[in-house]
Structure 1
Amino acid sequence: MKTYFSSDFKLGVLGGGQLGKMLLAETQKFDIYTCILDPSNEAPCAAHCSEFHQGDLLDFDTVYNFGKLVDVLTIEIEHVNIDALYQLEKQGVKIYPQPHVIEVIQHKGKQKDFYVEKGIPTAAHRRFSCLEELKKASFEFPFVWKSAQFGYDGTGVKIVRSQEDILSLADTDCITEELISFKNELAVIVARNSVGEVKTYPVVEMEFHAEANQVEYVICPARISDEVAKKANEIALHVTESFKHVGLLAVEMFQTENDEIIVNEVAPRTHNSGHYSIEASYTNQFEQHLRTVLNLPLGSTESKLAGVMVNLVGEEGFSGNVIYEKMEEVLKLSGVTPHIYGKKETRPFRKMGHVTIVNKDLEKAREIAEKVKNIIRVISK
């Protein structure tokens, strides 16, 4: 059996952001040697890994040469050079999630086509290669426009309400989607290892900031009926079986007005919707990610307590060296744990950290989360 712990085994991670930093808390717990590749020498992971390599995640040679240094390669962001991953895979490097999974998911057009092909319920979509092609098409307004690649945290997504709105869109490969009327945005994180063991986390509910189109609160368990939760879980398992990925898959979904569940999009990695699990679950998503990519037995996904996560984002009107104002007041509240990501500079709506609130009573946890949101301010000097 391969020895991962206190050994010469090397785990490589493409991306050194906050997801990587939280993963490193688990590798340190298990004493696993970690190598991180990230474009910035100020990445949150830089001070916490065994080896830090600075380089472009989209450059073939950089990713390929990094991959040759490690025994298992994983990701904390899907925007990576896919050709390098295929070449490494050919040469025997174990890469999880697998390159073919990342390739489909990192392009929203391919991802949506995949759902249609596999019979996964999703909003009707169309693909366009450029803005000129989009302008020539006829539409029923409103509709959703998404950049096919490199979108994140609401960037690269717009609701288009008129012909004039089309003129302001980026000239890029893109998709359009039917605008769905929904009750709730839900998510299920599914863990799968290489022998096919699968476990799902409870369905969570996501409340979004209307202006930034970012998750503001994640609530676990979701405040939905057992029937809707069962349906969401079954669809998440259908998505997992279709991809046959190894690793974590975060499946974001809409609960429609008539309680149908349709898939919005997925992420092949640890995810914002699972951060509550660090405090609220028996096995948090970051430890579970390690278990999947190292083909270890999966841990329990059950919750110890109800959990609500509040995203800490840069306040509007502030850019520069970060200050977390009134953190002391937040720390006085019961069941509250802040996580600061280590980004030295803030800007409007930049994810700078999160706070988890755990409580036996979900509604009480949600009330405390509201207090946290109203007390703490992420500003600059």
Structure 2
Amino acid sequence: MHFFSSNFTLGILGGGQLGKMLLYETRKWDVYTKVIDASLEAPCRIACNEFVQGDLMDFDAVYNFGKGVDVLTIEIENVNVDALEKLEQEGLTVYPSSKTLRTIQNKASQKLFYVDNNIPTASFTRFAYASEIEDSLSNGGLQLPFVWKSAQFGYDGQGVKIVRKLEDLEHLPNVECIAENKVDFKNELAVIVARNSKGESKTYPVVEMEFHPEANQVEYVICPARIEPEVMKKAIAVALKVSESFNHVGLLAVELFQTQEDDILVNEVAPRPHNSGHYSIEASYTNQFEQHIRAILGLPLGKTDSKVAGIMVNLVGAEGHTGDVVYENIDAILEMEGVTPHIYGKKQTRPFRKMGHVTIVDEDVKKARAMAQKVKETIKVTSH
């Protein structure tokens, strides 16, 4: 099939910032794109060839959209999987597959998948309703503290809470969920695996993630991770096993814990480009977005090595600010060497909303990390 400057159409479910960054690559290669999103303000709208307004969870909207494309991919997991399954049955190429998405969409199913495939992960208990947790605690089936996770629709720190005492259960939504043993970890790591339809795989270097203590969102992504070579090898081996077990095509971001004993446990995965790979736009030979396009179109995978060390700082809405966005001191960070801001195009800010990111590159990861701190302290995302 001819993909470039042809009548081939790539469909993308979701019009957010990940889709927008995918579109930088499709425009580079003149691949025709069609995007569906519920919001007319979606960041993708300015960059795709065709934009359709529609609900990603609505069967008919997703099915009818899929009928008009040649290959269908996602930039967000919360989409109607039944529609994807029907499209696949009718012969459409869909990556990630509906089967993979169905498993990943539900955190309980995802955890059971790891158990079934002998993939190391933290011990957990599954509950049909959060109200059952108190009984389990009083019967000794569950111990405090633990990490509560909503089985569905959690993202960016939403739907996740550390439960340290009984009172912490009071405001949890009464939904299907898991209670996961709290892992005593040294580091939170991630590995992005690229796998094309021919089964060829490549991994990006292991990155280290530093999280905001309150928002439970990534604040910094550091590449390369500051860990021992043996731990790196282990992390890459586990990530590859996860990708192969899913028979995944495209990018799979595998989030990992490095325990105090240097064991590697899988936390969760995302079957698409991911926040932990944004550094690759400036720092890698092949950025994660180009790699995703290569993988889903069955093209040879690009070189995943880094040219320089890269740190990514998330730009999130400041606390106490809701409304029309203002980026304060952006000129000050542009004066710093090796600093590149990415603004996602969301006109409205709110506390902790992801509004953009900044990449800092340097030959020396320590210098890059110090500069990242300076960037974080300088730029502010506020409102009028």
Q: State the TM-score, normalized to the length of structure 1.
A: 0.99
Spell out the pairing of 1:176-255 with structure 2 (5 A cutoff). Answer: 176-255=179-258
Match of 1:341 among 340, 344, 358: 344
Aligned: 1:380 with 2:379: no
Note the C-alpha offset of 1:93: 0.5
Q: After the TM superposition, list the runs of 4 or more consecutive aligned residues in structure 1 that deviate by more than 6 angstroms.
A: none
Gaps of 5+ in 2: none
Note the C-alpha offset of 1:129: 1.0
Spell out the pairing of 1:33-52 with structure 2 (5 A cutoff). Answer: 33-52=32-51
Aligned: 1:85 with 2:84: yes
Note the C-alpha offset of 1:104: 0.4
Q: Which residue of 1 aligns with 2:17?
A: 18
Q: What's the secondary structure of 2:40's corresponding residue?
A: coil
Deviations 1:131-163 (A, max 9, x none): 232232122110000000100000000000111
Q: What's the secondary structure of 1:112's corresponding residue?
A: helix
Spell out the pairing of 1:342-381 with structure 2 (5 A cutoff). Answer: 342-381=345-384
Q: What's the secondary structure of 1:266's corresponding residue?
A: strand
Deviations 1:209-266 (A, max 9, x none): 0010000000000000000000000000111111111010000000001111100000
Distance in structure 2 (CA, Å) of the matches to 1:131 and 1:246: 34
Distance in structure 2 (CA, Å) of the matches to 1:61 and 1:17: 21
Note the C-alpha offset of 1:62: 0.4
Match of 1:162 among 160, 165, 171: 165
Distance in structure 2 (CA, Å) of the matches to 1:261 and 1:11: 36
Match of 1:151 among 128, 149, 154: 154
Q: Which residue of 2 aligns with 1:130?
A: 129
Gaps of 5+ in 1: none
Aligned: 1:309 with 2:312: yes
Kindly provide the amino acid, as one letter, of the partner of residue 11 in structure 1. L
Q: What's the secondary structure of 2:311's corresponding residue?
A: strand
Q: Which residue of 2 aligns with 1:95?
A: 94
Kindly provide the amino acid, as one letter, of the partner of residue 204 in structure 2. Y
Note the C-alpha offset of 1:121: 0.4
Distance in structure 1 (CA, Å) of the matches to 2:136 and 2:261: 30
Kindly provide the amino acid, as one letter, of the partner of residue 365 in structure 2. L
Kindly provide the amino acid, as one letter, of the partner of residue 268 in structure 1. P
**How many corresponding residue pairs?**
380
Distance in structure 1 (CA, Å) of the matches to 2:167 and 2:289: 44
Q: What's the secondary structure of 2:72's corresponding residue?
A: strand
When structure 1 is superposed on structure 2, of 371-380 and 137-146 the one drifting more is: 137-146
Distance in structure 2 (CA, Å) of the matches to 1:336 and 1:132: 48
Kindly provide the amino acid, as one letter, of the partner of residue 117 in structure 1. D
Kindly provide the amino acid, as one letter, of the partner of residue 26 in structure 2. T
Identity of aligned residues (%): 66
Distance in structure 1 (CA, Å) of the matches to 2:225 and 2:130: 38
Q: State the TM-score, normalized to the length of structure 2.
A: 0.98
Spell out the pairing of 1:251-262 with structure 2 (5 A cutoff). Answer: 251-262=254-265
Q: What's the secondary structure of 2:173's corresponding residue?
A: coil
Distance in structure 2 (CA, Å) of the matches to 1:240 and 1:55: 30
